[in-house]
Amino acid sequence: MAVIDQIKKRARLDVKTIVLPEGMDRRTYEAAAITLREEIANLIIIATPEEVEKNSKGLDIGRATIINPFTYEKTPQYVDGLVELRKSKGMTKEEAYELLTTDYMYYACMMVKMGDADGAVSGACHSTANTLRPSLQIIKAKKGTKLVSGFFLMDVPDCVYGEEGIFVFSDCGLVQWPTAEELAAITQSAAESFELLVERQAIVAMLSHSTKGSASHPEIDKVTQAYEIVKKECPELRVDGEMQTDAAIVHRVGESKAPGSDVAGRANVLIFPNLDAGNIGYKLVERLAKAEAYGPLTQGMAKPINDLSRGCSSVDIVGVIAITAVQAQAQQREEQRAREGEAQ
């Protein structure tokens, strides 16, 4: 069974409500029809009646909740909430209303913030910046998280590497030039993301153009410094670096280039040294190896808000909805444990 099918199965066990703010795109409604038919999540679509009429013809979305931001009864509450959140920036009610009714991602984030939805998925027709900017302003980072970052869940067909072709690649969508400290935070979050979604032990390789000192460069030093931070902060995590990709995933090469490493040749989580490398890497694997690439997904956010590639299909959107639902389940379990701890 493909990893996304396992994730869908888990999503059905505790159905969450996911908001889709791109009601101006046909793919949103195609994905909604599939999601509702497969009972993966409850859905809210933000759209005007005209947008629904134009883009949903022939699709069964009858069980989706359609919200018109111009007429919905809770819009004034979202306006007040956004003004309160952004008061240090001098936001007025008029500005908040304009933002919520012209940029539906802000509206979606306010719905999640105020507990009317469990997560949001956007990005089919908007850039990553337009998707994540409202998220970072409204939802913000999870308590105790050093950095919000991005990852892709990759499922490579007919692949013997990783977890039978399943990988997490990070960061491929958000942090452009991470410092050593940020790279360490990305590494820890990516391992957690892999274990949540794949339900297997994370085996993490911190990638470079060097393996264990085979080359010298300040960017290599950054990776090795990040590795030392991770080992100090998470001594139980199975991680190694710096490491070239072939050494990380091919057992024979790993034994040659990094003898004695319990990660070399076995890695299922690949940490890229910068956003250029990560973005190029995931797109090469997606296109040349015909991999399913789900994301850019976020990690470290207080609530699950996930991005999409603008080249995504409706099936890709369904996958990210399922992932967002499972992340929401995990987030709510964490919140419940925190409440129980406070009660004691």
Q: What pTM does this model have?
A: 0.91
Burial group, residue 5, by CB count within 10 angstroms (0-12, 13-18, 19+):
exposed
CB 223 within 8 A of CB 208: yes
pLDDT at 1: 64
Nearest to 121 by CA among 283, 299, 319, 302: 319
Full DSSP string of 8-30: HHHHHHS--EEEE--TTSHHHHH
d(C-alpha 13, C-alpha 163), whole Å: 24
Full pLDDT tens readout for the chain, 344 residues = 689 999 999 999 999 999 999 989 899 999 999 999 999 999 999 999 999 999 899 999 999 999 999 999 999 999 999 999 888 888 899 999 999 999 999 999 999 999 999 999 998 888 777 888 899 889 988 887 888 999 999 999 999 999 999 999 999 888 899 999 999 999 999 999 999 999 999 999 999 988 887 888 888 889 999 999 999 999 999 999 889 999 999 999 999 998 999 999 999 999 999 999 999 999 999 999 999 998 889 998 899 999 888 888 899 999 999 999 999 999 988 878 877 777 76
Compute the half-sphere exposure of residue 18: CA atoms within 13 Å on the CB side of its CA.
35
